[in-house]
């Protein structure tokens, strides 16, 4: 599996800020509606419900919110870089500015886990995260995220 299989070029956004997790989930739901034809209310509530189970912030300014949504044909991603980091209740207490949301079909157990593992490995690279934080062009962010990210396990 590669990041380019789950992330479309138009699903990468740079936002000035989000005032709260709820506002960020509104923004993610809006992008998923525009780019992936996922119902806004469904995407928003699925992200909220998952986050209620525990934070999806993984540390070092990165969050991986994810949700299962009926009717999808495969796992889809949305990437957002915030210009002003947001408190996300991360265990390392660092605010989040790199958010890669995943939307998976209801029955996509293994595919969902592989996508989460791939995105986690990709955003664990400090050099890549520094490049993502230094750029505001969505097409360049997409290129940075998708070049050379094939998973050996997939």
47 exposure class (CB count in 10 Å sphere: 0-12, 13-18, 19+)? buried
In the block, residue with structure tokens 């299989």: 5
Main-chain dihedrals φ then ψ at residue 130, nearest 5 degrees: -65, -40
- To the query of whether residue 112 is one of the catalytic residues in this protein, the response is no
Backbone angles phi, psi at 36, to 5 degrees: -115, 0
- Residue appearing with tokens 């509104």: 26
- Give the whole-angstrom CA distance, residue 154 versus residue 140: 25
Query: Which residue in 24, 51, 57, 66 is the catalytic one?
Result: 66
Distances (CA, A) of 74 to 68, 95, 117: 10, 30, 16
Q: What is the sign, positive or negative, of the torsion defined by CA atoms of 91, 93, 95, 97?
A: negative
Active site residues: 66
């Amino acid at each position: 599996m590669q990041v380019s299989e789950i992330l479309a070029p138009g699903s990468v956004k740079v936002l000035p800020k989000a005032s709260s997790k709820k506002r960020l989930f509104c923004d993610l739901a809006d992008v998923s509606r525009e780019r992936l034809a996922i119902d806004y209310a469904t995407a928003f509530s699925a992200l909220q419900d998952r986050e209620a189970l525990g934070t999806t912030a993984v540390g070092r300014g990165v969050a991986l919110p994810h949700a299962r949504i009926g009717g999808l044909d495969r796992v889809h991603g949305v990437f957002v870089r915030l210009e002003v980091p947001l408190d996300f209740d991360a265990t390392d207490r660092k605010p989040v500015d790199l958010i890669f949301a995943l939307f998976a079909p209801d029955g996509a157990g293994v595919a969902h886990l592989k996508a989460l593992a791939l995105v986690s490995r990709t955003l664990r690279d400090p050099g890549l995260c520094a490049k993502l934080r230094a750029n505001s062009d969505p097409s360049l962010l997409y290129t940075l995220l998708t070049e050379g990210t094939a998973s050996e396990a997939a």
